[in-house]
Chains A and B, each alone.
Chain A
Amino acid sequence: GGREPQGLAEKSPLQTIGEEQTQNPYTELLVLKAHHDIVRFLVQLDDYRFASAGDDGIVVVWNAQTGEKLLELNGHTQKITAIITFPSLESCEEKNQLILTASADRTVIVWDGDTTRQVQRISCFQSTVKCLTVLQRLDVWLSGGNDLCVWNRKLDLLCKTSHLSDTDLSFVTGSHIGELIIWDALDWTMQAYERNFWDPSPQLDTQQEIKLCQKSNDISIHHFTCDEENVFAAVGRGLYVYSLQMKRVIACQKTAHDSNVLHIARLPNRQLISCSEDGSVRIWELREKQQLAAEPVPTGFFNMWGFGRVNKQASQPVKKQQENATSCSLELIGDLIGHSSSVEMFLYFEDHGLVTCSADHLIILWKNGERESGLRSLRLFQKLEENGDLYLAV
């Protein structure tokens, strides 16, 4: 978390959308209740299952299709600080998927994803593990707190960094090319930067060293995600889209939410979903539009990032971009209102819709009503057929 972005707060009132949301597909919801405290994390296990974890220290495995509670994993005594899945490798003889959870009780528990069995419990940490990352190509996982540890599947400690600093870690990112970047939450500097865990891939063309502006104390990135073209960042209340190709911000919503945006994700259909402390989830569509020369170039957080231009001042507006450059806009196409408190995270299932978790202890399953209706009909006729009650008229 970070402080309110003061510099961006004053302008552009919150965009709203009325009750008529024709493009919003989520017309059905199911409230799932099992947690007794803030639900902070959701992680997808497979095509139809997901796990939720939160401050009550329990992990619940759900069926995303029916909303059925499948498993409850009890083991942590304090709130869970990180959860991640460790998918089984094809080569590996052990088929079971593992779930790793880190907790404020300074343990990491490795769970069997199909049963409630604890595979192993690691409690040799000096401090709370704040983040977990799996590097699947190496078949290792990392835990980060005050120390950074690298573990293999067999849960042997491979290496351990020295004490990093007094500050807490926020992100650990494994990039495409074999870099490991550890982001510090407070001053946005790279605390550690290691390369070449393995032979770097041949293509290093686009990759530049990413360095952070020093003056960004007043803003914080809460979350970011990327795809092949763009990097999407949730900064304060706003959303920013940075094009890797054009190396500039192509779209932004400075006040996308009433309050800080906590999580964003990109959907396959050029849609972006964001959730926020204000308790709402918003669905955005990235629309291309012809940029008029006169239109003011969006300013925002990405201006402060110097990609290859390190010492640029943050406050200085970016130069007018090249003429006729296509720019995009983020159009609000719908919002989901259900939670009564901050929406911590969400998870998108291609087939089953959206799962959101919130500080109101609830998890809501948002579904496409029409599609669900069709599926129910399908199941109805299947059941009729099973019962032998189906007569097809010729």
Chain B
Amino acid sequence: MISAPDVVAFTKEEEYEEEPYNEPALPEEYSVPLFPFASQGANPWSKLSGAKFSRDFILISEFSEQVGPQPLLTIPNDTKVFGTFDLNYFSLRIMSVDYQASFVGHPPGSAYPKLNFVEDSKVVLGDSKEGAFAYVHHLTLYDLEARGFVRPFCMAYISADQHKIMQQFQELSAEFSRASECLKTGNRKAFAGELEKKLKDLDYTRTVLHTETEIQKKANDKGFYSSQAIEKANELASVEKSIIEHQDLLKQIRSYPHRKLKGHDLCPGEMEHIQDQASQASTTSNPDESADTDLYTCRPAYTPKLIKAKSTKCFDKKLKTLEELCDTEYFTQTLAQLSHIEHMFRGDLCYLLTSQIDRALLKQQHITNFLFEDFVEVDDRMVEKQESIPSKPSQDRPPSSSLEECPIPKVLISVGSYKSSVESVLIKMEQELEDEEYKEVEVTELSSFDPQENLDYLDMDMKGSISSGESIEVLGTEKSTSVLSKSDSQASLTVPLSPQVVRSKAVSHRTISEDSIEVLSTCPSEALIPDDFKASYPSAINEEESYPDGNEGAIHFQASISPPELGETEEGSIENTPSQIDSSCCIGKESDGQLVLPSTPAHTHSDEDGVVSSPPQRHRQKDQGFRVDFSVENANPSSRDNSCEGFPTYELDPSHLLASRDISKTSLDNYSDTTSYVSSVASTSSDRIPSAYPAGLSSDRHKKRAGQNALKFIRQYPFAHPAIYSLLSGRTLVVLGEDEAIVRKLVTALAIFVPSYGCYAKPVKHWASSPLHIMDFQKWKLIGLQRVASPAGAGTLHALSRYSRYTSILDLDNKTLRCPLYRGTLVPRLADHRTQIKRGSTYYLHVQSMLTQLCSKAFLYTFCHHLHLPTHDKETEELVASRQMSFLKLTLGLVNEDVRVVQYLAELLKLHYMQESPGTSHPMLRFDYVPSFLYKI
């Protein structure tokens, strides 16, 4: 949390002046408690002062059947990150929260072992003693040699900031679900491969045994069987049985409902293909024969071998590693996803929230955001989801935590969230303890089927009594609880603007959050809790009661038994419980601010509120100011910056769409990177994420670099203004120069001023060496052009002079600019050469905010009905034109050539709005017959 509440408070008031601020005035606002770790010399930006690790990381642990809970790997895999933090201890903690939900083995009434497709469970817990809070995602993988064929694992996102975990729960859950799904898919694949091998082995063994038996029969003509023969026969029978069992298992794993997993659909062909690899990767099933198989590993086809029908004992063998359990390809993909998660959530919560708000607001600006924003949507799929959700009553959705149902990161800004002072938040585990007994039985019967089916069933079953299995329950906002409908809780999880989070500290007096470890949410599969585990629940609750003063370090399970309909009354009761108030102090001390999740009465309503109450432009401005204050000089720009110039240009190539999308995510990572490193002497070599997201990273630096170079350009060239005006008004700027690197650098920098045509990349051509053509001017708005001294270059220059009316020409070698006159006031503000801004990223944001402002003007101009259509039949075109002009000049306050900029943007908006399929064609080339001037330094 940024500890600059005064700044925050002011911005906030500014923004919502239409909503009178009802809080007591200044003293209340300024009553910010001192930063608890200030005495230790800790930087207030560092959330990590209490923790033993330097920053957030991901831990993968296993509950090994041999050695118990053990940490397997961390992401980033760097000991500096987790420092002295006791991974073993924490693994024990996080694994102990889980309970093996799956029931595998011989269920009563079934002849064969059944596999259980278990849903993951998601839990948030904290350990205040360690200063660690974690989002824990439990999952089970299949292993033929493991007890019950399952191995319990968990992935935990560990952070020192509790609020980060809580507020990002849905995002974390979605991302981890994706990783888990990937891992499990790979595991199923490997498991199936293993089963097939085992079957081949068994088949071979059977054949051998059969032959032996036959031989013995022949040899033995005495009419009775020797004990040896009987033993063989028994062995054969057990092999037969084993074959049937394994075939059944294989059928089960194959029949795993192929839900549409994004990106990793299991098609049979692929399966066959990868199987061979899997067979090589995984060690053989029989340790006795391992030497033999080593000889065969190089061969693609699996050679069956003789095995013993009896399985080896549990402790005799070495268990497979996580990597061996999973198909290699999927394993690397999972690791990539995990590092992506680590990057995504890296840094301060403030940043995460701001960026989410930013994205959410950008989505609302869908008419104008294509112009200057270099990413469109975080994910189209997600957007679709989001759009589809409000129309659907949330009861219809199963409260599932599966990948399809993963909660969408959602940022809703509602007036309500500002007005209501959010006091207490109860995060409870949804458990209907009374009902659990019979549900349990039902569920286990169902459990071998499609999990989705299960969920539906559960949903049906629990309807009316439980809202959602994995809910972060939001209770007790003073003003909105009365209308809070429980079933909406999942959908209406709103994340407030960060200022609110900070401020809420000052006003919150009540909380029911207990100390230390809280189990904050779970997934529906908890209904599958076995009895022995279930027993721990009451005790957990008892535990809470028995340590009302907040025994630090103790693990508290907090489960609400009360029916959710009691929203308000419950809150009342909470309010009156002294012990809970007391206990709240513990948390208050060590972490500033309570988790604030203002609930919104109805989902659609709040959405609307968000639109109305938050003028996008203002948010961006605030955003801007926020970051300017916040930005800290990056101690180590390091070598990575060098790469950005050479970074391939994305020239209207749809394949770069992804890259530009990633910018948004990773940019935030990068900024936060710098901030979270401020206090800690962290390693300069931040871990390299795997090749999955290189584009995004470079793009981010590229952005920063672009800002830096643009700043340099503005300072260096006195004629920067007319050049930028050219770009903004859609007149192609040709940057002419001999040195490709210099030209590219400047083109990259200036590209931030170029409005896009549509959803694809900017109309910028970084480097051209052939003579320009009329098509180029229609297509590109910024061109880097090679100056060649040879006669061939004469053609280039000739073409340039021929088409001079369509272009402005910036000659880098002679330091001249030929372009129309500019006398407006907009560009000087945008590109002030005396600006105090020093950092590239800051300047980039400054430009973005200015341009957003400009966009809103263009929007107003475009969509004002009366400006463009005659008010009555007899009105002449001249009258309409003069009305437009007076609007531009008087209402929008545009001066001289600024009018042209807005007019150009308006044309782009019109085209974009009317385009049936965006991105199919280039817009027309618009130009003016205006004289150009030659500027020199």
Contact = CB atoms under 8 A, between A and B. Distances in A.
Do A and B bind?
yes
Interface of A: 18-22, 24, 27-31, 33, 67, 334, 337-340, 362, 364-365, 367, 369-370, 372-374, 376-381, 383-384, 390, 392-393
B552 interface: no
A30 B907 contact: no
Contacts of A370: 881
A31 B774 contact: yes
Nearest to B913: A380
B635 interface: no
23 contacts: A19-B930, A28-B927, A29-B774, A29-B778, A29-B924, A29-B925, A29-B927, A30-B778, A30-B924, A33-B775, A337-B803, A338-B774, A340-B799, A369-B927, A374-B868, A376-B907, A377-B869, A377-B910, A378-B869, A380-B910, A381-B869, A383-B913, A392-B865
Nearest to B866: A393
A337 B865 contact: no
B173 to A, nearest CB: 35
B911 A28 contact: no
A116 B862 CA distance: 39
Contact of B926 (A19, A365, A369): A369
B927 A19 contact: no
Interface string B855-870: 0000000110100110
B619 interface: no
A24 B868 CA distance: 23
Interface of B is mostly: helix
Contact of B910 (A33, A67, A376): A376
A392 B869 CA distance: 12
Contacts of A33: 775
A390 B877 CA distance: 22
Contacts of A372: 924
A82 to B, nearest CB: 28
Interface residues of B, number: 33
Contact of A383 (B805, B881, B914, B924): B914
A337 to B, nearest CB: 6
Interface of B: 773-775, 778, 799, 802-805, 862-863, 865, 868-869, 877, 880-881, 903, 906-907, 910-911, 913-914, 924-932
A381 B866 CA distance: 10
Contacts of A18: 931
Given A338-B774, A390-B865, A379 B914 contact: yes
Contacts of A21: 929
A337 B927 CA distance: 12
Contact of A27 (B778, B803, B914, B927): B927
A33 B773 CA distance: 13
A20 B925 contact: no
B931 A27 contact: no
B929 A337 contact: no
Contact of A373 (B773, B907, B913): B907
Given A29-B924, A340-B773, A369-B927, 7 more contacts: A29-B774, A373-B906, A377-B910, A379-B910, A381-B865, A383-B913, A384-B863
Contacts of A31: 774-775, 778, 925
A31 B773 CA distance: 11
A24 B929 CA distance: 8
Given A367-B924, A373-B903, A340 B774 contact: yes
A392 B903 CA distance: 22
Contacts of B924: 28-30, 67, 365, 367, 372
Contacts of B802: 337, 340
B868 A378 contact: yes
A19 B931 contact: yes
A376 B778 CA distance: 18
A19 B911 contact: no
Contacts of A22: 929
A278 to B, nearest CB: 11
Contacts of A383: 913-914
Contacts of B775: 31, 33, 362
Contact of A364 (B774, B862, B869): B774
Contact of A334 (B804, B929, B930): B929
Contact of A362 (B774, B863, B906, B913): B774
B868 A377 contact: yes
Contacts of B903: 373
Name the residue in A19, A367, A370 with the highest tally of chain B Cβ atoms < 10 Å from its Cβ: A19
Nearest to A369: B926
Contacts of B773: 340
B924 to A, nearest CB: 4
A353 to B, nearest CB: 11
Contacts of A19: 804-805, 929-932
Contacts of A364: 774
A139 to B, nearest CB: 40
A248 B929 CA distance: 36
A367 B932 CA distance: 22
Contacts of B932: 19
B774 A381 contact: no
Contacts of A367: 924
Contacts of B914: 376, 379-380, 383
A28 B925 contact: yes
A27 B928 contact: yes
Contacts of B931: 18-20
A337 B773 CA distance: 11
B805 A337 contact: yes
Contact of B929 (A20, A30, A362, A374): A20
A137 B158 CA distance: 89
A27 B868 contact: no
A26 to B, nearest CB: 9
Contacts of A392: 865
Given A340-B799, A369-B926, A374 B865 contact: no
A365 B802 CA distance: 19
Contacts of B804: 19
Contacts of B877: 374
Nearest to B776: A31
Nearest to A391: B865
B911 A339 contact: no
A124 to B, nearest CB: 42
Contacts of A378: 868-869
Contacts of B865: 381, 390, 392-393
Contacts of B868: 374, 377-378, 380-381
Contacts of A20: 929-931
Nearest to B867: A377
A235 B869 CA distance: 46
B584 to A, nearest CB: 48
Contacts of A373: 903, 906-907, 910
Nearest to A280: B802
Which of B863, B865, B906, B914 has the most chain A CB atoms inside 10 A of its CB? B865
Nearest to B910: A376
